[in-house]
Amino acid sequence: MADTIRVLLAKPGLDGHDRGIRIIANCLVDAGMEVIYLGIHQTPDAIVEAALQEDVDAVGLSIHSGAHLTLFPKVKKLLDARGGSHILLTGGGIIPSDDMSELEAVGVGRLFAPGASLKELAQYIRDEVGKRKAKA
């Protein structure tokens, strides 16, 4: 189905805890999205390469290692450099609100903290991807 939103999920860096991202993957599938889950210990290069090969609408990163100020901007920069600036970059994890604002300033989409509403997350992706497709 051409209107199905495709989302790539990944755990970049050294963080090995993936229970939350698996729950998110199931939530997004239940919301009618197609999900590609790359797994843990992914590099920014591998994430971007997969996102472009899979022609996704959104990339969601889960980071609990404290490396969010390095990993999100690196993925965003690579997406933009390789022709993927139209792809929504979102995610969540243990990210202080000041850092969320800093990441938003460099083009990262909304970030979600532990305990965020799964329904709200799915609706955000649906709305943001819809806006981006309307501009294309």
Residue 2 has pLDDT above 70, yes or no: no
Protein fold of 6-135: Rossmann fold (3.40.50)
Q: What is the pLDDT of residues 73-101, one digit of tens each?
A: 999 999 999 999 999 999 999 999 999 99
| pLDDT reported for residue 104 | 96
Kindly state the average pLDDT of the residues 120-127: 98
Give the single-character DSSP code of 98.
H
Residue 1 has pLDDT above 80, yes or no: no
Integer-rounded Cα radius of gyration of the chain: 13
Kindly state the average pLDDT of the residues 111-121: 94
- pTM, rounded to two decimals: 0.95
- Domain borders along the chain are 6-135
In the chain, the percentage of residues whose pLDDT exceeds 90 is: 88
C-beta atoms surrounding 38 within 10 Å: 19
* β partners of residue 105: none
Q: Are 9 and 23 in contact (CB under 8 A)?
A: no
Kindly state the average pLDDT of the residues 104-130: 96
Give the single-character DSSP code of 116.
-
Kindly state the greatest CA–CA separation across the chain. 39
| pLDDT reported for residue 119 | 96
Tally of residues, the chain: 136
Structure tokens at 43: 């590099």
